[in-house]
Structure 1
Amino acid sequence: MQVWRSGVYLLVSLASGIATVLALPVLWYPGLARRWANWHRNRAGRLLGIPLEPRPALRASGRRAWTDPATPRDLLWLPVNALTGFALGVPTLLCVGNLVPGAVGTALWWAFSPEDRPRLFVEVAVTGWATALTLGPLQIVLLVTLAYLCFPPVARVHARICLAVLSHSAAEDLADRVEVLTRTRADVLDAHGAELRRIERDLHDGTQARLVAIAMRLAVARQAFSDVPRNDQFVQDLLRDAHEGTEEAMTELREVIRTVYPPILADRGLAGALTAVTTRCVIPTRLETGDLEDVPAAVEAVVYFAVAEALTNVAKHSGATTAGVRVDRTADRLSVVITDDGAGGADPRRGTGIAGIRRRVLALDGTVDLDSPAGGPTTITLELPCGS
């Protein structure tokens, strides 16, 4: 079975080598070269029993198709396929082709005219049964033995050459890995954002609503007891404690909701939320926002908290008279620049504000750059991924 598969593989390789030469003007186009190369690569992988990751089809066109990292290998495979297909396929064809004269010469030599009788070992004409029954089986045995010994290793050589030419380089494997990680990171950000919104919605519409209802009932109960001239002071104290505890729980719950995903982001979006933050700042703050498109919820939350924390630091420590916030998006990167005209000298080691901003941003594979020379001004630049 292995000999048969190897022989078919080599004969198909010979045919594909001929087709490559004939169709070279067409196959020189990168898109067709990629499909032709992928077909050969898949054949080679099946013959060797090696599971291969599929090579994506070439989607770029024009100049971008020629600059694709895999295009040079696809084009290199065209002459390599033609040469190896001929070099390894022609002996296979001769071996298989000479099996036919051996079989015919052994059994049916007498049915041919003297001029057209089969020839064994290329030059020996079959003229009688003695020649047919000796040289015919000998030729068949030799060719079958040759096929058995040579076809599988020769086919594997061709397959390995194919994979060697068409395999990714280490740099391309790394680039593919980075692309996959970038895509999966964007998916994680989207999933994280959806989960944040779900938690905020559940806490706001479920747990908080139930606590509000309990607090209202307790308030009514306290009022009812206070309206009764004779009342149990102990029960009133219990109701008061329960009411106050419920109010404290609601306050804490609101803080949790704001830290998980500020409701203002869900209501007004990132630009609207930042407008509210800069408006509340005690120092006059200028806000500039570009076209932000669709920003993942996790990134929105980090930017919101970072800007709020940075402006709080400006108001408390910088002595600035003005501040500015600029938010721009370029491709899949969101840039946030926070500036003030204060005294400068900001040091993340002397407080938790900037360190907290850095932790939030780095958690999303972002970057933080602080420029705060003594005497000012101070600039904090944040870069965050927001899609792929």
Structure 2
Amino acid sequence: MSEHAEGPYRSGYTTGRGVTSGRRWSQAWRGGVYLLGSLGSGIVTALALPLLCHPRLARRWAGWHRDRAGRLLDTPIAPRPAPPATARRTWTDPTTRRNLLWLPVNAATGVALGLAALLCVGNLLPAAVATPLWWAFEPEDRPRLFIDIPVTDWADALILGPLQLLLLTALAYLFLPPMARAHARICLATLSPSTAEQLTDRVAVLTRTRADVLDAHGAELRRIERDLHDGTQARLVAIAMRLAVARQALSDNPRNEQFLEGLLRDAHEGTEEAMTELRDVIRTVYPPILADRGLAGALTAVTARCGVPTRLDIGDLDRVPAAVEAVVYFAVAEALTNVARHSHATTAGVRVSRTADRLSVAITDNGTGGADHRRGTGLAGIRRRALALDGTVEVDSPAGGPTTITLELPCG
């Protein structure tokens, strides 16, 4: 789905030989705008510090800075946890403490780095004005270059003006991007949860998914038992009874061929129906097509059977664990079933790719949208299967469409 960063903050700000001059100037521009915005937010933070100490305001203020820093670094920002339900828990919540810590940090770093950017950018204007228009000012109001050198003749204007422009432009080109990145990283480092908090959250997620997996496993066993008991077992009992009657009839009256033929025909048909039901049950446990054709072949068959024209794009997957293959197969099959039944789509697409130890699956359609796992459309089952393997599921389905369901599964 998306490219994985090679480092903690891989972004458009990566410098190196491959970075073009135009891209570098874009970085300098973005960095300058970001730092000037940080200067304004730092001043606001310092002036409104007592007001911003309210947990809800601090949360919103910190969240705005997190999103801003993430956009600058092109770093995906994890969704923030929901705020605590009670005021007492709000004040003791680690997130609240980080938000409050960010206030003085932002006031200090934002003002310091923002003033440096303002000094650099702000002094470009006097140089640009002094070079051609120094003579238009009164002697006492003549522009000054390099902070305190007045421009009194054309020699000063033509030498000092371009020199100041060149030096300040070089400073902006070289230092504004790393200064902006430094502030953004300080922001994310201050507002990001600690390792202990991440571990606690991870344990909570695993505990919840484990409970969901156990519930799903129990429900699946009950379904298989019910299908075998009510379907296949009942048919096998009926077959056994017919064969017993046929055996008895054969011993009593060997010439009653029509009666025997009817019993054997019913037994044969029942056997075929029982075999079909057994195959259906086995298919829900682990689709035989995966063992026969592999994941690519199984997905090709699923997309071919879909009632909506579906394009399949499969990259180089290498070896994928069987459990991951089953989850992908069931997810694609369920999603395409929903597309055919509910979306009113005319086209759909399935894209499967692998990056390092992550398998990504994207199912799209151009239907009416509005898919929601809380309404029992099969998405809840997809999410449950993915979470059982420590995967993630994202559903983007605005009203009016289109819909994109994205799965990411570990397959190391």
Is TM-score (shorter-chain normalized) higher than 0.5? yes
* 1:17/1:85 contact within 8 Å kept: yes
Q: Deviations over 1:141-186 (max 9, x none)?
A: 1211222232223223222322332222121011011111122113
* 1:35/1:57 contact within 8 Å kept: no
* Rounded Cα–Cα distance in structure 2 between residues aligned with 1:168 and 1:76: 12
* 2:134/2:142 contact within 8 Å kept: yes
* Rounded Cα–Cα distance in structure 2 between residues aligned with 1:33 and 1:61: 16
Unaligned runs of 5+ in 1: 247-252, 254-388
* Rounded Cα–Cα distance in structure 1 between residues aligned with 2:27 and 2:254: 102
How high is the TM-score relative to the length of structure 2? 0.52
Residue 120 (structure 1) aligns with: 145
Structure 1 residues 219, 151: closer, same or farther in 2, change over 3 A? Answer: same
Counterpart selection for 2:227 from 180, 202, 208: 202
- Does residue 163 in structure 1 map to residue 177 in structure 2? no
1:78 shift after superposition: 0.4
Paired residue type of 2:186 = I
Counterpart selection for 2:253 from 228, 231, 251: 228
Residue 147 (structure 1) aligns with: 172
Residue 101 (structure 1) aligns with: 126
Q: Deviations over 1:102-155 (max 9, x none)?
A: 001112223333343322222233232222111111111121122223222322
* Rounded Cα–Cα distance in structure 1 between residues aligned with 2:109 and 2:82: 24
* Rounded Cα–Cα distance in structure 2 between residues aligned with 1:67 and 1:29: 13
Residue 190 (structure 1) aligns with: 215
* 2:126/2:145 contact within 8 Å kept: yes
Paired residue secondary structure (1:127): coil
Identify the range of structure 1 (181-190 vs 8-17) with the bigger mean alpha-carbon deviation.
181-190
Counterpart selection for 2:107 from 78, 82, 85: 82
* Rounded Cα–Cα distance in structure 2 between residues aligned with 1:145 and 1:184: 54
* 1:117/1:126 contact within 8 Å kept: yes
* Rounded Cα–Cα distance in structure 1 between residues aligned with 2:56 and 2:207: 25
Query: Which structure: larger Rg?
Result: 1
Q: Deviations over 1:25-75 (max 9, x none)?
A: 332122332232233233334434444433334243411111112221111
Paired residue secondary structure (1:58): coil
Counterpart selection for 1:73 from 86, 98, 102: 98
Residue 323 (structure 1) aligns with: none
1:226 shift after superposition: 4.1
* Rounded Cα–Cα distance in structure 2 between residues aligned with 1:77 and 1:191: 42
Q: Report how many residues are paired.
A: 239
RMSD: 2.9
* Rounded Cα–Cα distance in structure 2 between residues aligned with 1:104 and 1:74: 43
Counterpart selection for 1:31 from 34, 37, 56: 56
Paired residue secondary structure (2:159): helix
Residue 347 (structure 2) aligns with: none
* 2:102/2:190 contact within 8 Å kept: yes
How high is the TM-score relative to the length of structure 1? 0.55
1:99 shift after superposition: 0.6
* Rounded Cα–Cα distance in structure 2 between residues aligned with 1:26 and 1:219: 87
* Rounded Cα–Cα distance in structure 2 between residues aligned with 1:208 and 1:230: 32
* Rounded Cα–Cα distance in structure 1 between residues aligned with 2:216 and 2:150: 79
| Percentage identity across paired residues of the two chains | 75
Residue 35 (structure 2) aligns with: 10
Unaligned runs of 5+ in 2: 1-25, 272-277, 279-412
- Does residue 216 in structure 1 map to residue 246 in structure 2? no
- Does residue 172 in structure 1 map to residue 197 in structure 2? yes
Counterpart selection for 1:60 from 82, 85, 108: 85
Identify the range of structure 1 (63-72 vs 185-194) with the bigger mean alpha-carbon deviation.
185-194
Paired residue type of 2:198 = D
- Structure 1 moving runs of 4+ over 6 Å: 229-232
* Rounded Cα–Cα distance in structure 2 between residues aligned with 1:136 and 1:143: 11
1:17 shift after superposition: 0.7
Paired residue type of 2:122 = G
* 1:77/1:166 contact within 8 Å kept: yes
